[in-house]
Amino acid sequence: MNVLQDRLEAISLEKLLPQIAAPGTAVSAQARLRMASYLSGMEKSLGGLAPMLFHWLDICNELDPRAPRKAVVICCADHGVAAEGVSAYPQETTLEMVRNYTIRQGAAANAFAACAGARLLVDDMGIAADTSDVPDLFQTRIANGTKNMAEGPAMTREQAENSIKVGLLIADSLVAQGFDWFLPGEMGIANTTASAAIAAVACHKSPEEVTGRGTNISDERLKKKVGVVRRALQVNQPDPEDAIDILAKVGGFEFGCIAGIILGAALHHKLVILDGANCGAAALIAWKLAPASTAYTMASHLGSEKSHRYMLETLGLQPFLHLDLRLGEAIGSSIASNILESLLASWHVLLQGSSEEMGHYALFQLLHEHGFGDVDITAFPQVEVDKDALVDHCEMREEEVHLTDKTFDFYLNTMPTPDKEAMAACKARIDNLTKPVDSLGCLEQIATELSGCTGVERPELAMSRTALLYFTEKEDLPPALERMMAAQAAYAGMKFAIAHLDCAKGATAAFDFGREESERYATMNELIALAADEVGDEPRGTMDSALREALLFEDGTLRYAADGFLAHVPERYQPAVSALLGAMIAAAHNGAMVLLDSEAVQIVARYAMKIAPELCAYLLPVQPQLVDLGALLPGLTAGCGLQILRASLFMLNHMKTFEEARVSVASDGPGAKRQHR
């Protein structure tokens, strides 16, 4: 600690903080011009993804940066306010989880860091226990936990400043090791009580408005927690204009450390992808110390904690993932990092030029040479990687198609139903993974549904067994669009097929075409992403609007009965709608999960589920349910959905149970009934 103390004393916040300034915008201005020239008016269809891309280009000051190196940093500390009984878990859980991170490697942080291809670093900022025997743990302890903030200040002003300085040192170390994106997280029983208090002060809200359930506590304990936050604010009277005072009186050592990491990232022009409410509390501290530091952060998701929304609004940050998460181990930020990296990969491909067609295998090589993606191209059989074609182009049959009621009856009467036994076993395991019950929200639901589709308690999904099927009436796509879609698929390891519709052949032939192509791909793949092109030169989003107006009431409910809705589809969209309908039915019939790319595809899916209710278990809508980006370019939303699904399976297959990791279970709330050790 003496060496650390010397290093902390050498840091002057008064000298460093004025050096933080927002990045310039010259690179993004150049990038916007390049993108407009490549996509020829379609650049707006990137929605919220484009600003995130430009944000990073400005921060790193490069037009074509390498694939980012990522570091997940879990800052651990105990809180004296835990003595007030505000958590569903005992305080020793902090140490147990630290051992889980470093020894048993079965926590959410381990799983999601692996999913993001990030290095995991764990830091002891103030655990109230002996950690000398814990391997691979950074020892930067300020004290053995904070004091009880309901009775007085959580820490001294000097301790608050030192916790921030530790974060600055960590940022310096990460930069020296070549990391570009920092994904902070935290572990500390009762820390959402502290973050609620920080939010109340910094966002000018009442304890009731910002205090959430944390570890999924009961109503009775939540009422107590609100009272504790109110008492802490009354006892300490933190100065809303003094970040150090807020941190010292109602904060935690891990919040100071994360604030320091943010400030350090700003000094070195690196990106911090924020996770949930506790990261938000740290970002508020950093923002009050250096307002420009927010320009080096990006919000990932909107968590379930009540305070999180107010924090992001105060910081002026917009989350784009809606996964109902309530766990702060860099989960949402890990998923967000993969989504942003996939767009960065597509941008790199666009910059190489779009006039010459590139084979899929060569596209893999191009991305890997620049460090993008984690797909081993040598693992793909030659039959799956066509070196001569960018994509698989599918054409409709020349002969006339005659479908009878027997064809429909066959599919509808033999549609598989989810394996309830596998789903129950999967859900029971998820409940007992080392996390608060239901804290991973939509990820838990997706993994359980995939278990039902596959009939396996712990399904695994090889990215080489996924495919993007894109329906279009065009003979040729704009080269830049085709290359960008192919790059998205290649980054994820998906196959990419363009199914060319001949509208002159009619809706029945289109249905059969969609059915045949989807069946062909579903027999080889466990997941099919479905997307559809606009008709002619219509702007992106036109089909979404047209089908919404034609097939839905103003409140969003379905306007027509299932057996007659096709007659109300505008004639120019009937081939695409019919093909999508056939593709959904055939994919689900073969047990493949279906990712729905756009609003138009989702509307078709809603009618398909009325025709065959069994389809519901196999269809996964993405936007705006899980992702809110306003992305209209085909394949982008499906790509985001694939990253979310992939993350859910990393959760299921890489995390360990309380029994396996030797971690205490919940003693309050729903977890007390469903978690066992």
| Same domain membership, residue 261 and residue 200 | yes
pLDDT in tens, 477-493: 888 888 889 888 888 88
| Same domain membership, residue 325 and residue 409 | no
pLDDT in tens, 454-485: 999 999 988 878 999 999 999 988 888 888 89
| Same domain membership, residue 313 and residue 409 | no
What pLDDT does residue 385 have?
46
- Collect all residues with Cβ–Cβ distance below 8 Å to 169 and sequence separation of at least 6: 7, 8, 11, 140, 260, 264
| Same domain membership, residue 417 and residue 291 | no
Cβ-based neighbour number of residue 370 at 10 Å: 17
State mean pLDDT over 65-94: 97
**Secondary structure in 3-state letters for 345-360:** HHHHHHHCCCCCCCCH
The helix or strand, by DSSP H or E, that contains position 283, with its residue range, turns out to be helix 277-289
Token pair, residue 559, equals 């306007």
Is 468 inside any structural domain? yes
| Same domain membership, residue 436 and residue 315 | no
pLDDT in tens, 225-272: 999 999 999 999 999 999 999 999 999 999 999 999 999 999 999 999
Is 668 inside any structural domain? no
Give the C-alpha separation, 125 to 170, whole Å. 12
Give the C-alpha separation, 96 to 188, whole Å. 11
| Same domain membership, residue 404 and residue 311 | no
- Collect all residues with Cβ–Cβ distance below 8 Å to 547 and sequence separation of at least 6: 569, 570, 573, 577, 599, 600, 603, 604
Domains of the chain: total = 2
| Same domain membership, residue 264 and residue 394 | no
Count of residues making up the chain: 677
State mean pLDDT over 615-636: 93
CATH number at residue 523: 3.40.50
State mean pLDDT over 210-239: 98
Prior bond of 418 cis (ω within 30°)? no
Q: Is 341 exposed, middle or buried (0-12, 13-18, 19+ CB in 10 A)?
A: buried
Token pair, residue 254, equals 């891990």
73 in helix, strand or coil?
A: strand
Residue written as token pair 């508020």? 284
Is 367 inside any structural domain? no
Selecting among 96, 254, 329, 482, the annotated active-site residue is 329
State mean pLDDT over 6-14: 94
**What residue numbers bound the domain in which 463 lies?**
376-654
94-103, 307-316, 406-415: the lowest-pLDDT one: 406-415
CATH number at residue 249: 3.40.50.10210
Q: Is 384 a catalytic residue?
A: no
pLDDT in tens, 422-443: 999 999 999 999 999 999 999 9
State mean pLDDT over 24-30: 98
pLDDT bracket for residue 412 (50, 70, 90):
confident
| Same domain membership, residue 170 and residue 235 | yes
Is 667 inside any structural domain? no
| Same domain membership, residue 331 and residue 240 | yes
| Same domain membership, residue 242 and residue 135 | yes
Q: Give CA separation, 557 vs 338, 480, 518, 548, 600, in Å.
A: 33, 36, 28, 10, 14
For the chain, percent of residues with pLDDT exceeding 70: 96
